[in-house]
Structure 1
Amino acid sequence: MELMKKLWNAAKADKKRIVLPEGEEERTLSAAEKIYKLELAYPILIGDDEKIYRKAKEIGVNLEGIEIVNPEKSERLGEYIKEFYELRKNKGMTMEKADKIVRDPLYFGTMMVKLDDADGMVSGAIHTTGDLLRPGLQIIKTTPGVSVVSSFFIMMVPGSKYGEEGLLLFSDCAVNPNPTYEQLAQIAIATADTARKLCKIEPRVAMLSFSTMGSADHETVDKVRRATELAKELRPDLLIDGEMQLDAAIVEKVASQKAPNSKVAGRANVLIFPDLQSGNIGYKLVQRFANADAIGPMCQGFAKPINDLSRGCSDDDIVNVVVLTAVQAQEQK
């Protein structure tokens, strides 16, 4: 957990305002108290203030000093509605629809980030990934030059020799069901940049498949090959290689047999899965069988940081994702 210690210290050094739109949810309330007391960020709870205080009292959470915003009472509501209408009017949005939509805590929180009333947002304890992505894509949109939003998990495997002393990034495990080869290339590049900026490691990116360097032919393998070629062309500064099987990517002995000329094989610390099914299954296998810490799913590609949670998350998981979101906000200044 050395990485998280560094990220906690970074978050404390330049505290950011992070919106928690699920403000009436128990784990979120508990996390907000921890975040505030540990001085990791300035949490902002969104919801009915009376319900929030009542729930906090029921579970023994102290919210003193923590900002709570009720969309129905906010002085900013009118401006948010107007701005959302302007963003979506070419898509058939009306002021009446905007008035109804923006009152939703997820949309309200996203508008706070859009208009710089907050630096980032974390949601997902009781909402799906799609619930988060929808307002994110409508309001925040993607970073200029980035065509796809994707997700990544930071996997920390205790006692492991693989990756970066047990640290690996997995992508995409939560957002894109069946990316095209162009999208897969973008995902690889984005995750490599995340490894550099957020995790402070030099990325060695393996494009995963059931084939290693031409050992099999299939349309799904061809997609990974084309994605690898495109990613290398777009970012020659990055170490990206493939296609390769998982064992060839992380086990040096296997790599020496299957991909002896690769600078990535056997040493990969960033694993790019060919589709969502394999990525989601892969991270959960490692999490459960290896007792790994799986932090995420974090989002990459948005113009401003908004991040997802697993609905099975703990309050400590929320704390860690808030810390990562705060550090992302620092990087995007």
Structure 2
Amino acid sequence: MFIEQAYKGNNTWWRVLITTLLTAGVFLINFVAYFMMSQEEMDAVYKTMSEVPNNLSLLINLSPFILLLLLLFLLVRVLHERSVLSLTTSRKSIDYKRILFSFLLIVSLTIVMFIISYLVDHSNIILNFNPLKFTILFAISLLLFPCQIGLEEYLFRGYLMQQIGIVVKNRWFPLLFTSIVFGLFHSANPEVQQMGYGVMVFYIGTGFLLGIMTLMDESLELALGFHLGNNLMAALLITSDVSAIHTDALFKYSGVEKPVDMLNEMIVSIAIVYPIILYIFAKRYNWTNWKTKLTGKIQAPKLQTTN
């Protein structure tokens, strides 16, 4: 199964420590810096970031993920002596159709929900389309978002979930731990500053969704497709002043977003939309044994002996 793939490699503690620090270090530094800064310093940082042209800012923010993802693959291959395939899936090969289906599902749901929202009330939604800027945004997004979401999925739902799982010998703890840490590492996002720490429920809930997908499907493919589709829509479809990333998207929300309203939207996503997504996946891929796959024990493979 997926977590047991870690047994295919060398899991000496110092190898795990080096890989974790080198690849998760950027998240750790960002997390620590955020809590060490005063409110005035954080406001100054956000102000400086807002003054950088949107596409340049996106390019600067996403570029490091290329090196970090390659570094993670290299460390898994060289230090842990196992393949990237074992970090991706428990199957014999990567199922790209799963990635595509998950990607198209979240893109379709996002567009449908946007259209419904627009038809109900579009008084604060303005057309923001600039052909040149949007073309550049589209190119940057297609090139760099796969690296950004790739690092997050391979690090949290892949490497860390597998390594923690074979240490604690169960599935529920790595699911819980990686989901919470995934959420906490988003605490420096601008919307957290605007709405308070209640928004962390959404990030942690999203971590749980992606973790459940991974454990139930025994692979990262669905999580990769979902995460990529979600981030692309966040960048390309509509932007606002409190978004995690400011982009030259097709539309912009020009109103004053009330924290209560935004939190309610996020709660609706977690309580209604996410279960629907899991239900669709469960029906399509015939998921069974939920309790075992999400909370069951992890056992090391038995060594084969010959007479």
TM-score when normalising by structure 1: 0.23
- Structure number with the higher strand fraction is 1
- Structure number with the higher helix fraction is 2
Greater relative contact order (CA < 8 Å, ≥ 6 in sequence): 2
